[in-house]
Amino acid sequence: MIEQLPGFPENVLAFVGRGRITRADYTDVLTPAVEKAFATHKRLRLYYELAPDFAGIDPGAMWEDFKVGMEHLTRWERVAVVTDTEWIKQAARLFSFMIPGAIKSFSTFGADEARAWITAVD
């Protein structure tokens, strides 16, 4: 399940993934929020946290994640990935060269640091 997190500046989209993440989580929650935000902002930041109860991501959800990222490739200013799941951290590093903005991974214990980084005024 993906939930949008409140309390972030309007140029920051923030989500938390819990349990098993499915394609429907993207099509029903994440993608509409991204499209709505990009309708009014040229560039955005993304905070994406995988909670300790994260149980995996379905192939359809992985495809939706890829599509959302690629569709707005040059419009992501910063991306903070908060997880203790090593393969997710590695995937973020692997694809970071494709995004002109900065991507950083943080452990779940570093969630406060990630929130400070994603909301920092340059």
Q: Would you kindly state where each structural domain of the chain is located, as residue ranges?
A: 2-119
Q: In what order do the strands lie in the sheet with 76-82?
A: 2-4, 12-17, 44-50, 76-82, 102-106
pLDDT of residue 32: 96
Low-confidence ranges of the chain (pLDDT < 50): none
Find residue 14's DSSP bridge partners.
Answer: 47
Nearest to 5 by CA among 15, 25, 112: 15
pLDDT of residue 91: 81
Cβ neighbours around 28 below 10 Å, total: 12
Question: If you classify domain 2-119 with CATH, what class do you get?
Answer: alpha beta
- Global pTM reads 0.92
Q: From the centroid of its chain, how far is CA 37?
A: 14
pLDDT of residue 35: 94
